[in-house]
Each structure stands twice: as structure tokens, then as C-alpha cells.
Amino acid sequence: MAMRLHPLALAIALTASLAANAQTAPSESAPAEASAPAEPALATLETVVVTGIQPGPGLWQIRKGEHTLWVMATLSPLPKRMEWEPRELDALVARADRVLTSPGVDVDADIGFFGSLRLLPTALRARNNPDDKTLAEVLPSELYARWQAQKAIYMGRDRGVENRRPVFAAYELMDEALGDLDLKRENIVWDRVERIAKRNDRDIVRVGVSIKVEDPRDALKEFERSAVDDVGCMEATVARLETDTANMVERANAWAVGDLQTLEELEFDSEIRACALALLGTDALKNRGFNDLPKRVVDEWVRVAEESLAEHATTVAVADYQVLTADDGLLAAMRAKGYTIIAPGEEPPADAVAEDQPAEASAPVEAVEPASN
């Protein structure tokens, strides 16, 4: 069994993937009951969520002579009911020499479907705290009270989640919140790029680090017994829901309409990084090759990007916005190696040669009020 992971989205690694392969597990949750503070967070949101056909952002260019690597930045979450029509990107992908996947991690446990069924009980147990402890017992009291407040808004009286490790409880909470905010996590950019690349028989290159887990059963059992330093993951998730929901919607809107200036102004620390680093710090993952993954993935993307620029006139790539633009991200790494970087909307240097310059595209903006509880 292989799975593809974003380098900063390992919060669902191993345990969640094994559970997912067994289709649907029995629900542990009681029916949700409306139990929210007097003034729910959603009622204070003034930002509306765009819907209808949108162009998305422009593309970054990484240049080497007459060769260009075009990069489309993805963002999570995005408006749930948006239709994305990036005609310029479609045209580029259709005639590209090479298309690069989002940088990620390929994990191969090589156990097959029936093997995952046998591991399902262990995988489900591994999501919960050791020794049947509850969140009230493992979280600081102040943080637990904040968790309860956000849970009441987005999850009601779900009892099963109270037995989860903080990292998995936080992930479930954010999933519920995104649904209420009319947002979604799906990587719609790569889904479209891959479809067009396959339709036009383009060369698709998977970019990332490959890890083979030789002992998935032992790994899960070790993880089940292990302590995970994931209080920071819960803190980051709760803090983002307390302070960042309006900006979360505004960022999604900005991506949809191609407003990169707003994206730059609304910088944020994703809770997924804190959650991923919590899991990467466990012996169960460190001892199986998951150490130092974010840097290893960036290094591998840079290697493939340089190879593509040396050999191909036109390459199209997809990458997470934060991974792409961070101080230690993909663009910074390529800039440090001397490549010319041109942001969307920037004029290229006078000596730069623009090939396959995409046409401008525009689309009307339609807005709806965000969903509320």
C-alpha cells in the first residue's frame, strides 16, 4: 500500500492511511447537539466566500536562458463551491515538455488491501491516547477549556473525539470547521493539471522522497504505545480557529480571484506544520526514515527542477503556496542557485526570453454568505 503525502501534512500519516484503506469504520460519535457560546464565531464573520467561475492566481516563472519552469501555487483551504477555470495554465500544461507533481512523500507499506484490513484495529487504536486517557487528562486545563469552546462550535457533543490523541483530535476539529466555513482542503490544482497532462500525453514526474515501511504492524504498535509531544499541535489548531477564521476565508478568496498581494499580506503559520512535526518527532517514525523530511523534500524538488530546466524548454509544476514562498522554500532555494525568479504580474528582466507566455484570463466574481451553524 502506497500513499502520497504533503511534506507538511504528515498529521494523517500511517495510522489514518491504514484506517482509510479499510473503507468505513464504525462511528464512535454520539449525535451532535447544538451547544455553542452565546455569540458563535461564525456569526461575526463579515468576509464572504467566492463562488462561481474563478481564474485563480498567476504563475511564478523560474528561468534559465530560454528554458522556463512555470509554478502554480496551491492553497488549502479553498472555497468549497468555487469553479476554477485557469485557461492559461491549461494551455501551458497541454504543450509542456514535462509536468512536476507537488513535492511530497511516498510511503509504501506493501501490505495490500487485506493486510490493511488486518491492521485496522491497531490503526484505529493508535489514533487514541495510550492507557485510555482522555483529552481532559493529557491537555493543560486552560488549553482543554479552549478546545471545548471550539469543539462546541464546530463538533457539538462528539464523545468519541475526547479519546483521541491531540494531533488527531485537532485534525478532526479543523476538518469540521472548514466545512462550516464553506471551505475545503482538496488539491484542486493538481487534480486538474494531472487530468490535462494525461489527456495530452505529457511526461509526468513524481517529485518527493520515497520511504518504505518494512514493518507496518510493528510501526503501528510502537506508535500506539509511544508518547507524542502534540500539545503544540492542539494549541496551534485552537489558536487558528480563535483568531484566523476570517483571514482563512479571505485568503481562500484572494487565491480564487488571483489576488497575490492579499495572500502576501495575510501571512500565517499553518497548524499542520506543528502537527506534522509532533508526529515526526516520535521514535516510530524517526526510526523508519521520516527524519528531516521537510528539508529532504525541498532538496529533492530543487534537484528535479534543475534537471528539468537544463533539459526542457517548458516545464509546469505545482507546489503549496507556503512551501513555495517561505524563506527556506522552493523559490528561495532556486534564487540562491542563481536562477531568475519572476512573480505573477512582474515584468521579466530585459534580457529574459519569455516562451509560452500564457494569455491573461479573467472571470466574474460572485459571492455568497458563509455557511453558519
Q: Which domain holds residue 20?
A: 2-24+49-132+188-228+270-349
Confidence of residue 346 (pLDDT cuts 50, 70, 90): confident
Tell me whether residue 253 is in a domain: no
Q: Which residue has the higher pLDDT, 227 or 96?
A: 96
Q: Which of 124-138, 150-164, 193-207, 340-354 comes out lowest in average pLDDT?
A: 340-354
Q: Is the pLDDT of residue 15 over 70?
A: no
Tell me whether residue 56 is in a domain: yes
Tell me whether residue 112 is in a domain: yes
Sign of the Cα pseudo-torsion (311, 317, 323, 327, in order): positive
Confidence of residue 62 (pLDDT cuts 50, 70, 90): very high
Highest mean pLDDT among 209-223, 253-267, 277-291: 253-267
Tell me whether residue 41 is in a domain: no
Tell me whether residue 166 is in a domain: no
Highest mean pLDDT among 73-87, 94-108, 195-209, 253-267: 195-209
Q: Which of 18-27, 305-314, 327-336 comes out lowest in average pLDDT?
A: 18-27
Task: Provide the domain count of the chain.
Answer: 1
Confidence of residue 350 (pLDDT cuts 50, 70, 90): low
Tell me whether residue 153 is in a domain: no
Q: Is the pLDDT of residue 47 over 60?
A: no
Read off the pLDDT of each residue in 274-299 and give the average, rounded to a whole number. Answer: 83
Q: What integer pLDDT is reported at residue 43 of this predicted model? A: 32
User: In this structure, what C-alpha cell is assigned to residue 360?
Assistant: 491573461
Tell me whether residue 34 is in a domain: no
Q: What integer pLDDT is reported at residue 84 of this predicted model? A: 81
Q: Which of 15-19, 98-102, 285-289 comes out lowest in average pLDDT?
A: 15-19
Highest mean pLDDT among 38-42, 171-175, 220-224: 171-175
User: Which pTM does this prediction carry?
Assistant: 0.76
Confidence of residue 273 (pLDDT cuts 50, 70, 90): confident
Q: Which residue has the higher pLDDT, 345 or 135?
A: 135
Q: What integer pLDDT is reported at residue 290 of this predicted model? A: 80
Tell me whether residue 175 is in a domain: no
Confidence of residue 123 (pLDDT cuts 50, 70, 90): low
Confidence of residue 372 (pLDDT cuts 50, 70, 90): very low
Q: Is the pLDDT of residue 259 over 60?
A: yes
Q: What integer pLDDT is reported at residue 69 of this predicted model? A: 98
Q: Is the pLDDT of residue 10 over 80?
A: no
Q: What integer pLDDT is reported at residue 50 of this predicted model? A: 64
Sign of the Cα pseudo-torsion (95, 2, 20, 125, in order): negative
Q: Is the pLDDT of residue 166 over 60?
A: yes
Read off the pLDDT of each residue in 138-154 and give the average, rounded to a whole number. Answer: 96
Q: Which of 8-17, 177-186, 204-213, 253-262 comes out lowest in average pLDDT?
A: 8-17
